[in-house]
Structure 1
Amino acid sequence: MTVTVRFAPSPTGLIHIGNARTALFNWLFAMKNGGRFIQRFDDTDVLRSKQEYADAILYDLHWLGIFPDATDYQSRRFDAYDAAVEKLKAAGLLYACYETSEELELKRKIRLSRKLPPVYGREALKLTGEEREALEVEGRKPHWRFLLPNFRDNPFETERTEIQWDDVVRGEETVDLASLSDPVLVREDGTYLYTLPSVVDDIDMGVTHVIRGDDHVTNTGVQIALFKALGAEPPAFGHHNLLTTSTGEGLSKRSGALSIKSLRESGLEPMAVASLAVLIGTSESVTAVPHMSELAERFDPEATSKSASKFDPAELIVLNRALLHQLPFNEAQDRLSALGVSGEKAESFWLAVRGNLEKLGDAVTWWRIVNQGPEEPVELSDKDREFVNQAFDMLPEEPWDGSTWKAWTGAVKEETKRKGKTLFMPLRLALTGLASGPELADLLPLLGREGTLARRP
């Protein structure tokens, strides 16, 4: 059996870091087990679903390093869902209901007032053929509910019916079907809710493992019953904890909060996003993992906490910085070249500045400083200006290398008696225009003697 997983968002907006967590959990699970990853778009809501969002989701996944083995759309599979509906109807497991939303809400309140669980009482099962016909003549169209197997002989006498599974993430899980209402599978207008298409697709696509957020735990009990009603063996299920904002709010595609697109456009590295999305809320320490294969080795779904985890974007900067500080030139070269950082000095430049970057795009600033000098005129006191000019008079002849800075400043120190910050800071300001940055021992050979003298104040 080939392990087969799926990521099935609705293309009604941009995916966010929480969605990416689900996609990455599935991708890494497939990687660890030599399996397949199916990208499925749950686009049965034809009014809100848009191809532009589906395309954007695929782009985001590719940027993260996820490359599906197959892509499918639920909007192209209505025949399969129609066939499943007819099968359930024939088995007496799908029944027509005519209550309005207002009537259902009233029934719920009545049950609560009687200290009964607010589940649907299956009143529609008591309707005669004549009563149903009268309701339809009245203009009502039915919605269709799945009859849960939570009774022996009489559907109005439910009893505790446990659906149990060994959750890939959470361990043993149990859902009591008697505590749930029969789920609506088909709306009044004939469109499908999430549950039925998802199960039919998982059957037809050979999905062996469904890994998703823990807000679906209760749904899983219903879906396992539906798998069995359709004559299929349920897949294994896993439910990871959810991510919230740093203030504890839920993430939403509609709000665009922490969307993968916004994180990408802010200049973050994909593996910084992937590392935090996967490792946060687990027993693993959150560190910057440079490659997806290494992240797969560290990935352990069972190490995931059962409580929600707060996602702080500030942590991404820490991870991003760590990734850049160890990023080899050959992996950065093409991207640097696209930014205008190229030529014989590019590799030495990268090795000199990467330790001071938060985002790769910051290299452009230092490339400009190296090649053109400080962006703004340097402000020095009269004494520091005199000192810098004296130091520039003492510049050694070329060739220069990594030892030139030490030799030069050593001679300047001996001559001027300056030391520490009073020695180094005026020189740094004159050379770069900034009070901090890469080691000047690494930058000086890139400037060259001519380039250094051009910065004389």
Structure 2
Amino acid sequence: MSIITRFAPSPTGRLHVGNARTALFCALFAKANGGQFMLRLDDTDVERSTEAFAQGIIDDLAWLGLPYDLTAKQSDRFASYDAAFNKLKEMGLVYACYETPDELDLKRKRQRARGKPPVYDRAALELSDDEKAKLESEGRSPHWRFKLSGNKVNWQDLVRGDQLVDTSSLSDPVLVRADGTYLYTLPSVVDDLDFNITHIIRGEDHVTNSAAQIELIIALAGAGGDIPVFAHHPLLVMADGSALSKRLGSLSLESLREDGIDPMSINSLIARLGTPDPVEAHTEMAPIVAGFDLTRLGRAPARFDPAELQRLNVKLLQSLPYEKVADKLSSLGINCDDTQTGTFFWETVKGNIDKLEDAVALWQIIQGPVESLIDPEDRDYLDTAMNCLPIEPWDETSWSQWTTELKQSSGRKGKELFMPLRKALTGQAHGPEMQNLLLLIGPTHVKNRLKG
């Protein structure tokens, strides 16, 4: 059996780290098992779904490095959903309901007040044809519910183990709204059947949905139909245990990308959150795939800490060779003369940056112009420094030669010796090693900056 997983977002917003984790799990499971990964855009909500959000999801997956093998849009498949709905109708498994949202809300409040679960009471099944006709003559259009069996539904979940849901404790799910549009449940089941989805990996907030979906699968495909394997993973929460939803704006992939977070930092972190495995900064997907195992996921919500992502991003960034960042640096306006110079620049600055964009400021220090920081009491000292500059061309020993001679000439040492030079040449009190910066800045700029 060829494994096929699917990631099925609704294009009503941008992806955030929570649903990116689900996408990653689906892609990793397919990759690890030689299967296929499908992107399905659940765009039946015509009012909220947009092409811009759909393209944003596609762009985000590409940025994460999660290519999909198959794709579909639910808005192209209404004929299939209509056929499935009509089949259920013929089987007597769906029924028309006429309650308004306010009436349903009132029913739920009354049930809770009596200490009962807010389960739909199937009152619509008691309506006569005349009563239905009267309601429709008053302008009410029916919504349609799928009649659950009331039996217990059991499945082996790859994350949660043995699962048992008593469908008598659930409301019959609404399949079609009063305006004739489909809710999530029926299109999702039809697509899973039509595209031969073998494994459904998603958040644990869908556990009870699975029981209804299994009954729908059996109704549409027959008792012998293949029911997908389910894996319901714990949801992400913030480090303090609060809901992720409160921070979705700042945790969208779009925002993280704009903040300079590398996609592999995200993949490296969210692939291991919720497992006992250590989080390591990986620059390639292969080791993440090799170490992926759904059964390693714990049952507790996985805690996401933006500060941990930032630390991992710094670690990953500083581990990258120049060849991996050359194109990105070039797009930022950092164009080195050759690979050797580029490598030297990158090795010099990477320990002093938290994100790639920080390299721009260091490049500016090298290229100039720079406003030298010269204290009045250091003016004579810098004149002496000018006279002690090493013979050109400079090499990796030039900084040591220069400061050794300057120490002897000026009598200064330690911070009093080095800090005025750094501030004059870079305009900063801190930064990369001066031994390397001296070579990158070059004799012409060095002399001009010493003059102030």
Q: TM-score w.r.t. structure 2 length? A: 0.92
Taking the aligned partners of 2:160 and 2:388, their CA distance within structure 1 comes to 68
Could you report, residue by residue, the CA deviation over 1:344-365 in whole angstroms, capped at 9, with x for unpaired residues?
Answer: 3322111211121111111111
Q: Which AA in structure 2 matches 1:39?
A: L
Deviates most, 360-369 or 442-451: 442-451
Taking the aligned partners of 1:271 and 1:4, their CA distance within structure 2 comes to 24
Taking the aligned partners of 1:450 and 1:163, their CA distance within structure 2 comes to 79
Q: 5+ residue gaps in structure 2?
A: none
Query: Is 1:430 the counterpart of 2:424 in the alignment?
Result: yes
Please name the residue that 1:2 is paired with.
2
Please name the residue that 1:71 is paired with.
71
Match of 1:399 among 376, 387, 393: 393
Q: Is the 8 A contact 1:397 1:449 kept in 2?
A: no
Please name the residue that 1:158 is paired with.
none
Match of 1:329 among 322, 331, 338: 322
Please name the residue that 2:381 is paired with.
387
Query: Is 1:412 the counterpart of 2:406 in the alignment?
Result: yes
Taking the aligned partners of 1:452 and 1:256, their CA distance within structure 2 comes to 45
Could you report, residue by residue, the CA deviation over 1:231-284 in whole angstroms, capped at 9, with x for unpaired residues?
Answer: 232211112222234565434599634211111122221112222333333322
Q: Is the 8 A contact 2:372 2:426 kept in 1?
A: no
| Secondary structure class of the residue paired with 1:163 | strand
The structure-2 alpha-carbon separation of the partners of 1:137 and 1:373, relative to structure 1 and needing over 3 Å to count, comes to closer
Match of 1:350 among 332, 346, 354: 346
Please name the residue that 1:155 is paired with.
none
Q: Is the 8 A contact 1:18 1:251 kept in 2?
A: yes
Could you report, residue by residue, the CA deviation over 1:379-422 in whole angstroms, capped at 9, with x for unpaired residues?
Answer: 3251x333333233222112322232223323333443433322
Taking the aligned partners of 1:240 and 1:379, their CA distance within structure 2 comes to 59
Please name the residue that 1:274 is paired with.
267
Q: Which AA in structure 2 matches 1:356?
A: N
Q: Which AA in structure 1 matches 2:82?
A: D
Query: Is 1:339 the counterpart of 2:335 in the alignment?
Result: no
Query: What is the CA RMSD across the aligned residues, in angstroms?
Result: 2.1
Q: Which AA in structure 1 matches 2:217?
A: F
Q: TM-score w.r.t. structure 1 length? A: 0.91
Q: Is the 8 A contact 2:43 2:74 kept in 1?
A: yes
Please name the residue that 1:243 is paired with.
236
Q: Is the 8 A contact 1:7 1:38 kept in 2?
A: yes
Q: 5+ residue gaps in structure 1?
A: 151-160
Cα offset for 1:313? 2.5
Match of 1:225 among 190, 215, 218: 215
Cα offset for 1:334? 1.3
Between the aligned residues of both structures, percent identity stands at 52
Deviates most, 244-253 or 342-351: 244-253
Taking the aligned partners of 1:372 and 1:186, their CA distance within structure 2 comes to 65
Query: Is 1:96 the counterpart of 2:96 in the alignment?
Result: yes
Taking the aligned partners of 1:275 and 1:6, their CA distance within structure 2 comes to 21
Please name the residue that 1:154 is paired with.
none
Please name the residue that 1:54 is paired with.
54
| Secondary structure class of the residue paired with 1:164 | strand
The structure-2 alpha-carbon separation of the partners of 1:74 and 1:430, relative to structure 1 and needing over 3 Å to count, comes to same
Q: Is the 8 A contact 2:4 2:199 kept in 1?
A: yes
Q: Which AA in structure 2 matches 1:314?
A: A
Please name the residue that 2:359 is paired with.
363
| Secondary structure class of the residue paired with 2:2 | coil
| Secondary structure class of the residue paired with 1:455 | helix
Matches within 5 A, 1:173-252: 173-231=163-221, 232-246=225-239, 248-252=241-245
Deviates most, 270-279 or 191-200: 270-279
Taking the aligned partners of 1:420 and 1:35, their CA distance within structure 2 comes to 62
| Secondary structure class of the residue paired with 2:271 | helix
| Secondary structure class of the residue paired with 2:405 | helix
Cα offset for 1:452? 2.0
| Secondary structure class of the residue paired with 1:258 | coil
Taking the aligned partners of 2:242 and 2:37, their CA distance within structure 1 comes to 30
Q: Is the 8 A contact 2:250 2:256 kept in 1?
A: no
Q: Which AA in structure 2 matches 1:418?
A: R
| Secondary structure class of the residue paired with 1:95 | strand
Query: Is 1:120 the counterpart of 2:120 in the alignment?
Result: yes
Taking the aligned partners of 1:47 and 1:113, their CA distance within structure 2 comes to 35
| Secondary structure class of the residue paired with 1:279 | coil
Please name the residue that 1:283 is paired with.
276
| Secondary structure class of the residue paired with 1:174 | strand
Matches within 5 A, 1:309-328: 309-328=302-321
Taking the aligned partners of 2:115 and 2:440, their CA distance within structure 1 comes to 79
Q: Which AA in structure 1 matches 2:41?
A: F
Query: Is 1:446 the counterpart of 2:440 in the alignment?
Result: yes
Query: Is 1:263 the counterpart of 2:221 in the alignment?
Result: no
Taking the aligned partners of 1:200 and 1:248, their CA distance within structure 2 comes to 36
